[in-house]
Amino acid sequence: MDEMRTKESRRPANVTKHCGFWDVPTEEFAAWLTARREPPMRARQLRRWIIAGRAESFDQMTDLPRNLRRALAEEFEPLSTRIAHHSQSPDETHKLLLRLADAQSIECVLIQENKRRTACISTQVGCGMGCVFCASGLNGIARNLTSGEILEHLIRLRNLLAADQRLTHIVVMGMGEPLASLDALLTALEIAGSKDGLDIGARHVTISTVGLPAKIRRLADLGKQYHLAVSLHAPNDELRTRIVPTNDKTGLKEILSAADYFFERTGRQVTYEYVLLQGINDSPENAKELGQLLRGRRAHVNLIPFNDVSGLPYQAPTSAALTSFVDQLHTAGVSVKVRKRKGSTIDAACGQLRRRIESENQPPKLHSLEAV
Ligand code: SAH
């Protein structure tokens, strides 16, 4: 995993002291060890302590010399994020608001279902895509996360589990557009996927994107088994551009063609996500058009009833509209599922917890939003 560290994974520019261990480039850390006459194997030892040993401080690393532990603590941190808020819902969903070293905050969620332990992680502080119903992008984007910060979501969530439990799945469905921060994400996923990392294989990782065609193609060419989910939300360009403003530049045709390419290259069926907004994209005509669009493709549709976001004027579909939407898709021969709501009592949809906590200090900026 050493080679996986890239320049992009470095700490944010305005953070100079107490750098998170996972964002120190491998060569830089090797040089740091050499300067202190420490063997290179110390790097592996540290990684093992944080990953397998769940250490959150250097002091816990009892087989490291005391001097080394002190020197490490002066410059680095095993985990650079802090838990600013932890909530848990009755269905055992946990949500963490993590404070980053530069005082920004991000969210991640642990979903527990039968034997599955799924981490839902973020890739950016905020989001630049501006989907009109989504809380993450309401205040725009502050920055991409580093690979270390992304990995720390996973470590922090895993540390909530009992000692004999591990994370089994990752969904990149938190804040931000993963394909706009792809290098950092891939670096984090490589470490997460390695045997001496968290051992979560690519087949158990779903990357959800608003649909950036060039990046989808790049992902397809990696030769990895990641699962791709594309957020469609509308069956035609006119409606999609109203809901997903970036569609203006890309258009459905390009996105679907990139998704088809992903399927050809990887053999992995693409999931299309469709957030249902009452009176906007939930009519039987919308469903029929979606069926026509996807007919003949090896595709699966995940319908997501809109999760309330305070201050936004949208509503979930009525149960009759939902049933009829599902029926239309079945009739068109499209595989479809309605996504269950998990953790709705703890603001578990993207960007909601951060938004609520931050709005307790400062009123949200809603004026930049155009209702559809
Ligand atoms: N930027 C990525 C990841 C977003 S989060 C993407 O666009 O796919 C994952 C999914 O949750 C996306 O399909 C997103 O549109 C959806 N989502 C965001 N806010 C939501 C809300 N309030 N209710 C229901 N689904 C929401």
Ligand 1 contact, 352 CB (< 6 A): no
- pLDDT tens digits, residue range 46-100? 999 999 999 999 999 999 999 999 999 999 999 999 999 999 999 899 999 999 9
pLDDT at 340: 74
Residue 107 designated active-site = yes
Sign of torsion, CA 59 64 70 73? negative
φ/ψ region of 82 (left if φ > 0, alpha if ψ in -120 to 50, else beta) reads: beta
CA 350 to centroid of ligand 1, rounded, Å: 6
Ligand 1 contact, 209 CB (< 6 A): yes
Q: Compute the mean pLDDT over every residue in the chain, rounded to the nearest whole number.
A: 89
Ligand 1 contact, 208 CB (< 6 A): yes
Tokens of 217: 């193609």
Residue 9: pLDDT band with limits 50, 70, 90: very low
Residue holding tokens 């603001």?
347
Ligand 1 contact, 230 CB (< 6 A): no
Ligand 1 pocket, mutate which of 107, 181, 207, 273 (most atoms under 8 A from CB): 273
Ligand 1 contact, 226 CB (< 6 A): no
Say whether pLDDT at 22 is over 50.
yes
Residue 19: pLDDT band with limits 50, 70, 90: confident
64: part of which helix (H) or strand (E)? none
CA 84 to centroid of ligand 1, rounded, Å: 23
Which residue's alpha carbon is at the smallest distance from atom 19 of ligand 1?
134
Residue 350 designated active-site = yes
| DSSP of 285-315 | HHHHHHHHHHTTS-EEEEEEEPPP-TT----
- pLDDT tens digits, residue range 218-272? 999 999 999 999 999 999 999 999 999 999 999 999 999 999 999 999 999 999 9
Which residue's alpha carbon is at the smallest distance from atom 15 of ligand 1?
231
Which residue's alpha carbon is at the smallest distance from atom 13 of ligand 1?
231
Say whether pLDDT at 351 is over 50.
yes
Q: Which of 96, 99, 109, 88 is nearest to 173 (CA)?
A: 109
Which residue's alpha carbon is at the smallest distance from atom 20 of ligand 1?
134
Residue 353: pLDDT band with limits 50, 70, 90: low
